[in-house]
Amino acid sequence: MNHRRLRREIVATARQVNALGINRGTSGNIGARIKGGLLITPSGLPYEEMRPEDVVEMGMDGGVAGEGSPSSEWRFHRDILAARPEVGVVIHSHATFATTLACLGRGIPAFHYMVAVAGGNSIRCAPYATPGTQELSDHAVAALEGRRACLLANHGMIATGKTLKETLSLAIEVEALAEQYWRALQIGEPKLLSQAEMERVLEKFKTYGKRPASTAAAPG
């Protein structure tokens, strides 16, 4: 099966991630679900040099189709997709503010209602483990339970979604929240929203950004 269009979209998204400043250099990686496996950005190749054919195809057993070398973080991409059937895309980046908090072992609590965009009343920080290991993958999957994004201690962040566009949008929002939380911490400890309030916000997020069915099919 030819996945050339998806490969092109992965390359374009990878370049966007760097252009938007939520990743730099060759750090970070992007994976997308395909039937029976995933496509993932290659190891150590600058995004501006990456071509669609450089994107690596993998099976869920970890096998590689062809001669490409997948990102060293392929395990958590594979395991997140395996654990979360609703997820189609995983974006990992070393976004500056998210990584700063992660290096302090801090997640992002309910200091702002938009934290709910990641699916809960907090964005957790997974414990540290050596990059590329099964241990790190296990920590990431656990931190994402009931969530769409998490931080990785002393490492970076992960965002998930159904599509590349949706997942990139979430990664941007998580980095914005990380920056806001970091800035608030320069003054003091932010006042957190209550669990009850976050539950109300989470309910609202079920229809956030979605057009009503009556207008979704309308022409124009």
In terms of phi and psi (left: phi > 0; alpha: psi -120 to 50; beta: otherwise), the region of 169 is alpha
Q: For Cα atoms 98, 101, 104, give the angle at the middle one, nearest 5 degrees.
A: 150
174 in Cβ contact with 89 (< 8 Å): no
* Amino acid identity for residue 51 in this structure: R
- Pairing label, strands 125-126, 64-65: unpaired
Count CB neighbours of 108 within 10 A: 27
What's the first-to-final CA gap in the chain, in angstroms?
Answer: 34
What positions carry a catalytic annotation? 73
CA distances from residue 168 to 79, 111, 124 in whole angstroms, order as listed: 20, 22, 19
